[in-house]
Amino acid sequence: MINVPMYPLRFEPIYQYRLWGGRCLAGLLTAPLPGDGPIGEAWLLSDRDDHPSKVADGRLKGSTIRQLLEQSPDRLLGKLAGRLRRFPVLLKFLDANDRLSVQVHPADGQKALIPAGERGKTEAWVVLEASPASRIYAGLQRGTTHDDLERALASRTVGDLLASFTPKVGDAVFLRARTVHSLSGVVVFEVQENSDVTFRLYDWDRVDPKTGKPRPLQVERAVACLDFEQVAIGPVEPLVEEEAPVRRERLFHCDHFSVWRHTGQSPFTVGAVGAPRVLVSIAGEGELKHNGTHYKLSRGDVVLLPAEVGACSYQPFTSVNLLEVALPE
Give the pLDDT of residue 90: 98
Beta bridge partners of 93: 42, 189
What pLDDT, on the 0 to 100 scale, is given for residue 232? 97
Scanning the chain, the segments in alpha helix (DSSP H) are: 65-71, 73-77, 146-155, 219-225
**Beta carbons of 242 and 55 less than 8 angstroms apart:** no
pLDDT digits (tens, 9 = 90+) for 49-93: 999 999 999 999 999 999 999 999 999 999 999 888 899 999 999
Mean pLDDT of 142-158: 97
**pLDDT higher than threshold 60 for residue 1:** no
Tell me the torsion sign for CA atoms 175, 177, 182, 183. Answer: positive
Domains of the chain: 9-225 (2.60.120.10), 239-326 (2.60.120.10)
Q: Alpha-carbon distance 326 to 250, whole Å?
A: 11
Strand order from edge to edge, sheet including 320-326: 9-10, 302-305, 277-283, 320-326, 258-264, 247-253, 239-242
pLDDT above 70 coverage of the chain, percent: 99
Amino acid 84: pLDDT: 87
pLDDT digits (tens, 9 = 90+) for 104-136: 999 999 999 999 989 999 999 999 999 999 999
Residue 2, pLDDT > 90, answer no
